[in-house]
Amino acid sequence: MSVTLNSGFKMPVVGLGVWRMEAKEIRDLIINSINIGYRHFDCAADYKNESEVGEALAEALSTGLVKREDLFITTKLWNSDHGHVVEACKDSLKKLQLDYLDLYLVHFPVATKHTGVGATGSALDEDGVLEIDTTVSLETTWHAMEDLVSMGLVRSIGISNYDIFLTRDCLAYSKVKPAVNQIETHPYFQRDCLVKFCQKHGICVTAHTPLGGGAGNVEWFSSVSALDDPVLKNLAEKYKKTVAQVVLRWGIQRNTVVIPKTSKLDRLKENFQVFDFELSKEDMNLINKVDRKQRTNQPAKFWGIDLYA
């Protein structure tokens, strides 16, 4: 099952995110995922595992496990490379062992001090606050992203972690419209206004952290997991599915793309088994009512500044 982007290319509605995946786990994770049926993989320079993903993809392609045209590979421009877009993209392509990307995203709407192409540093000042580069505008960055399309390095370009105002601005100054806005959204952080704004203007919303981050974000950011919500648990019993499957199905029926992450084989299979049932309109509305407006992914923990304040 896929959606057609405004660029004309199709993107599978379920993908696998590789954030916080250990390098030693990547090979088996990618190969197992392809065997299960995954074709969409969400990467980023900042995840620091593009080389390992590239090795796994090269193995899958060389052995005939999958064809390149059947894969959809996303990666992202890191904050410190906003002034070096073409070089950063080529660095990611080299690590991923690919000739082109299906989707390249601006990871965050902020340019920071350059630390070397592909180094993905987050330089902090003497007070421990992120060194923001005020000489590179988001418009400048976007026009460099557009160049990647004309160069044939990237098929579609998009944005990530942009709010309504920044998305509107990007629509205004872009020649090539953003095909995707990848944002955190899940039952406890639904962001319905942003989702609907993007969809109204032809931008596909990809939900990162579609399960609310699970145990990882509870540990890192002291967030509350939606997977323990009693309403969601009751619905899981009703449909004879897991809570995660119900949440992912809700995301798909909102017309968003979901990219859950896991390194466990049983969860990989579970997260992909969401096409054999449909939530009723009444149950969709039940889930809509559990929203807590609770962001679970908080980069301020590492940057010494809350960019969402």
Provide the annotated active-site residues: 47
Report pTM.
0.94
Which among 56, 224, 86 has a CA at the least distance from the CA of 149? 86
Q: Is 115 helix (H, G, I), strand (E, B) or coil?
A: coil
Which among 72, 137, 64, 141 has a CA at the least distance from the CA of 101? 72
Which among 159, 177, 192, 183 has a CA at the least distance from the CA of 257? 183
As a whole number of angstroms, the distance between CA 57 and CA 142 comes to: 28
DSSP 133-180: -TTS-HHHHHHHHHHHHHTTSEEEEEEES--HHHHHHHHHH-SS--SE
φ and ψ of 10, to 5 deg: -95, 140
- Express each pLDDT in 138-181 by its tens digit: 999 999 999 999 999 999 999 999 999 999 999 999 999 999 99
- Express each pLDDT in 277-289 by its tens digit: 999 999 999 999 9
Q: Which residues contact 272 (CB under 8 A, 6 or more apart)?
A: 14, 36, 37, 38
Question: 133 has which bridge partners?
Answer: none
Residue 143 is labelled as binding a ligand: no
As a whole number of angstroms, the distance between CA 3 and CA 99 comes to: 23
- Per-residue tens of pLDDT for the chain, all 309 residues: 999 999 999 999 999 998 878 778 899 999 999 999 999 999 999 888 999 999 999 999 999 999 999 999 999 999 999 999 999 999 999 999 999 999 999 999 999 999 999 888 899 998 899 999 999 999 999 999 999 999 999 999 999 999 999 999 999 999 999 999 999 999 999 999 999 999 999 999 999 999 986 655 555 555 678 899 999 999 999 999 999 999 999 999 999 999 998 888 999 999 999 999 999 999 999 999 999 998 888 887 888 888 876
Sign of the torsion formed by the C-alpha atoms of 128, 131, 132 and 134: positive
Chain length of the chain = 309
Could you report how far apart the first and last alpha carbons of the chain are, in Å?
Answer: 37
Question: 40 has which bridge partners?
Answer: 72
Instruction: Please identify which residue in the block is written with the tokens 């988001």.
Output: 138
